[in-house]
């Protein structure tokens, strides 16, 4: 259900993560201005004239929404049902455009570059880069629109919205709160944990896994202890030590316990040095496949059951999602850091209104309803009740427990995207897990108890150093896969650092510090 593995790891100074490596461009146009005419018209129509006391009427529109996922056979049926449901409130049809993971980012970036018209899309710091595209003008400024058309969303997500602002303007809505309080964790195969009688409660740090990994190497032919992929980055590995103002520059960050908000070269910090050395040792011991650099995605690899463990982000409930994804029992062991909240976590799942939208006010109205109306959210996420799911338990006032209709499987279901979390508030989603309401409460508690970054809410404008970032990007991409999998000789690390220095790393560091100091002084 949730893409837990996509939580961005901040720990390994050169994790290089799953982000776009590009600079910002010009600032975006304001939907508050460009939509003023249509917004005023919508308001006038919705409120009615002095002489008209009849039911408010909005002109019918179609909103095009781009989502990651496999196109489903019954998508058109769901669109019809959504249109019927919204007839009396928003009077809009939602055109749901599913694009596979492999095609989504490229397709969206092409559409943005060519100025194609659309209304809404999924974006994040690791997918169709939210901050960079805000700076390039891809997203509409919804600062004014949210006040008028989504006041409940503004109130609901008040403590998170600053993370979605660029130069003081709001460009998106963050909604996957279940992942805001993520921490590093290892996911272990339950059958191997049982076979070797591993006491998971004794695992306090990543080094504690080594005796178990040694047993796997010695006794499990054809099984590699740890699943890693050069294409994914070291997701969830190891500890989230630093908050990175720009995930495209992973060598710079602010420590979570540093209230002075000093930007440091994370590669030089003791925590990063330790983690870098540990990853290299694991590679040399055979815990990681030697050809892991060529593996693009670790999920398909893990599904083969040729591995004992995978590293990922963790919040309550994500274990169940891993098990659903891999189709075998697992154990999740949080290791290292406490749950942390920062701009990176908040912007890991957002929805943005396109600057090319002809109906930005209606798009914001739709976001208001998707995040406050469980029936609409679950219609978009799970399809039509009775056809695509049936309710088996409705004791919780919001979260209904559901299952496939009799005779229907996930494979034969005409609308089973597993991308329901991209439509709105995940804490309002139905579930096939009876324990889901309790998990939601645990997630809310974890989010409330997060260690908050000292620069939470700060967004970095990298346009003053976009040339340096472009040069740094080329170097990061060159080294990414070999660093991510522990394949590079650490003796070559100083040469890597020297290349970063010559490419302008210190210039970027100074610009970050300048902006953070100005932000802090406000």
Contacts (Cβ under 8 Å, ≥6 apart) of 295: 228, 229, 230, 231, 289, 301
pLDDT at position 47 is: 37
pLDDT range class, residue 222, cuts 50, 70, 90:
very high
- Distances in Å between the Cα of 214 and the Cα atoms of 67, 201, 234, 282, 490 are 42, 19, 21, 11, 23
pLDDT at position 237 is: 56
pLDDT at position 53 is: 46
pLDDT at position 295 is: 84
Average pLDDT for residues 23-45, to the nearest whole number? 39
pLDDT at position 20 is: 28
Tokens 């996922």 belong to residue: 69
Distance between CA atoms of residues 348 and 124, nearest Å = 5
Q: Is the pLDDT of residue 46 over 90?
A: no
pLDDT at position 25 is: 36
Q: Is the pLDDT of residue 495 over 60?
A: yes
pLDDT range class, residue 479, cuts 50, 70, 90:
confident
Ranges 222-236, 452-466, 470-484: which has the least confidence? 222-236
Question: What percentage of the chain reaches a pLDDT higher than 70?
Answer: 87
**Which class would CATH give 25-46+57-177+343-434?**
alpha beta
Q: Is the pLDDT of residue 220 over 90?
A: yes
pLDDT range class, residue 6, cuts 50, 70, 90:
very low
User: What is 183-338+458-522's CATH number?
Assistant: 3.40.190.10
pLDDT at position 149 is: 98
Distance between CA atoms of residues 262 and 269, nearest Å = 13
Q: 476: helix, coil or strand?
A: helix
pLDDT at position 45 is: 36
Average pLDDT for residues 343-356, to the nearest whole number? 93
Give alpha helix (H) positions in 75-189: 75-86, 101-114, 130-135, 143-149, 151-156
Q: Is the pLDDT of residue 38 over 70?
A: no
Closest CA to 513 of 253, 125, 242, 243: 253
The better pLDDT of the pair 362, 439 is held by 362
Q: Residues 357-396: pLDDT tens digits?
A: 999 999 999 999 999 999 999 999 999 999 999 999 999 9
Q: Is the pLDDT of residue 351 over 80?
A: yes
pLDDT range class, residue 473, cuts 50, 70, 90:
confident
Average pLDDT for residues 466-483, to the nearest whole number? 89
Average pLDDT for residues 412-429, to the nearest whole number? 95
The better pLDDT of the pair 418, 423 is held by 423
Highest mean pLDDT pick, 183-187, 391-395, 474-478 = 391-395
Ranges 88-92, 270-274, 410-414: which has the least confidence? 270-274
pLDDT at position 234 is: 52
Q: Is the pLDDT of residue 397 over 70?
A: yes
Q: Are 134 and 353 in contact (CB under 8 A)?
A: no
Q: Is the pLDDT of residue 181 over 80?
A: no
Q: Is the pLDDT of residue 293 over 60?
A: yes
Q: Is the pLDDT of residue 214 over 90?
A: yes
Highest mean pLDDT pick, 331-340, 341-350, 407-416 = 407-416
Q: Is the pLDDT of residue 183 over 50?
A: yes
Q: Is the pLDDT of residue 233 over 60?
A: no
Q: Are 344 and 247 in contact (CB under 8 A)?
A: yes
Contacts (Cβ under 8 Å, ≥6 apart) of 475: 496, 499, 500, 503
Whether 25-46+57-177+343-434 and 183-338+458-522 share one fold: the answer is yes
pLDDT at position 231 is: 65
| Residue ranges of domains in the chain | 25-46+57-177+343-434, 183-338+458-522
The better pLDDT of the pair 61, 458 is held by 61
pLDDT range class, residue 29, cuts 50, 70, 90:
very low
The total number of residues shown for the chain amounts to 522
The better pLDDT of the pair 481, 435 is held by 435
pLDDT range class, residue 12, cuts 50, 70, 90:
very low
pLDDT at position 447 is: 87
pLDDT range class, residue 321, cuts 50, 70, 90:
confident
pLDDT at position 40 is: 40
Average pLDDT for residues 476-486, to the nearest whole number? 85
Burial of 282-304, coded b for 16+ CB within 10 Å and e otherwise, reads bbeeebbbeebbebeebbebbee
The better pLDDT of the pair 407, 300 is held by 407
pLDDT range class, residue 179, cuts 50, 70, 90:
confident
The better pLDDT of the pair 17, 144 is held by 144
């Amino acid at each position: 259900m949730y893409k837990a593995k996509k939580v961005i790891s901040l720990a390994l100074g050169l994790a290089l993560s799953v982000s776009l490596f590009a600079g910002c461009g010009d600032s975006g146009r304001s939907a508050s201005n460009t939509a003023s005419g249509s917004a005023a018209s919508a308001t006038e129509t919705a409120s009615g004239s002095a002489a008209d006391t009849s039911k408010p009427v909005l002109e019918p529109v179609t909103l095009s929404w781009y989502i990651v996922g496999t196109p489903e056979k019954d998508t058109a049926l769901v669109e019809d049902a959504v249109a019927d449901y919204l007839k009396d409130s928003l009077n809009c049809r939602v055109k749901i455009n599913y694009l596979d993971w492999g095609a989504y980012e490229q397709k969206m970036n092409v559409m943005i570059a060519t100025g194609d018209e659309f209304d809404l899309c999924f974006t994040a710091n690791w997918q169709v880069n939210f901050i960079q595209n805000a700076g390039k003008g891809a997203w509409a400024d919804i600062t004014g629109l949210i006040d008028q058309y989504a006041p409940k969303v503004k109130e609901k997500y008040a403590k998170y919205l600053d993370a979605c602002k660029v130069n003081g303007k709001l460009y998106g809505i963050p909604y996957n709160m279940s992942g805001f309080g993520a921490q590093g964790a290892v996911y272990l195969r339950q059958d191997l944990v049982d076979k070797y009688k591993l006491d998971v409660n004794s695992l306090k740090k990543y080094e504690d896994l080594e005796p178990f990994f040694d047993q796997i190497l010695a006794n499990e032919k054809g099984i590699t202890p740890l699943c890693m992929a050069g294409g994914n980055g070291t997701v969830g590995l190891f500890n989230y030590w630093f908050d990175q103002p720009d995930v495209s520059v992973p060598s710079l960050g602010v420590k979570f316990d540093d209230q002075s908000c000093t930007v440091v070269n994370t590669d030089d910090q003791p925590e990063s040095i330790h983690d870098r050395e540990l990853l290299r040792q694991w590679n040399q011991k055979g815990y990681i496949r030697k050809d892991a650099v060529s593996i693009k995605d670790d999920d398909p690899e893990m599904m083969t059951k040729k591995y004992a463990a995978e590293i990922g982000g963790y919040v309550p409930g994500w274990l169940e999602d891993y098990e659903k994804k891999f189709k075998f029992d697992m154990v999740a062991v949080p290791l290292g850091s406490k749950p942390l909240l920062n701009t990176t976590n908040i912007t890991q799942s957002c929805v943005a209104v396109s600057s090319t939208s002809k109906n930005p006010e209606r798009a914001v109205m739709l976001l208001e309803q998707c995040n406050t109306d469980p029936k609409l959210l679950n219609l978009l996420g799970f399809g039509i009740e009775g056809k695509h799911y049936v309710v088996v338990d409705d004791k919780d006032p919001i979260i209904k427990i559901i299952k496939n209709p009799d005779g229907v499987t996930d494979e034969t279901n005409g609308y089973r995207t597993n991308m329901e979390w991209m439509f709105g508030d995940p804490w309002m989603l139905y579930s096939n897990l009876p324990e889901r309401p309790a998990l939601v409460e645990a997630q809310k508690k974890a989010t409330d108890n997060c260690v908050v970054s000292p620069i939470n809410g700060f967004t970095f404008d990298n346009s003053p150093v976009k040339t340096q970032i472009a040069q740094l990007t080329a170097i990061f991409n060159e080294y990414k896969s070999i660093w991510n999998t522990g394949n590079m000789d650490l003796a070559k690390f100083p040469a890597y650092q020297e290349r970063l220095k010559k490419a302008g790393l210190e210039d970027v560091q100074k610009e970050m510090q300048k902006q953070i100091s100005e932000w802090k002084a406000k």
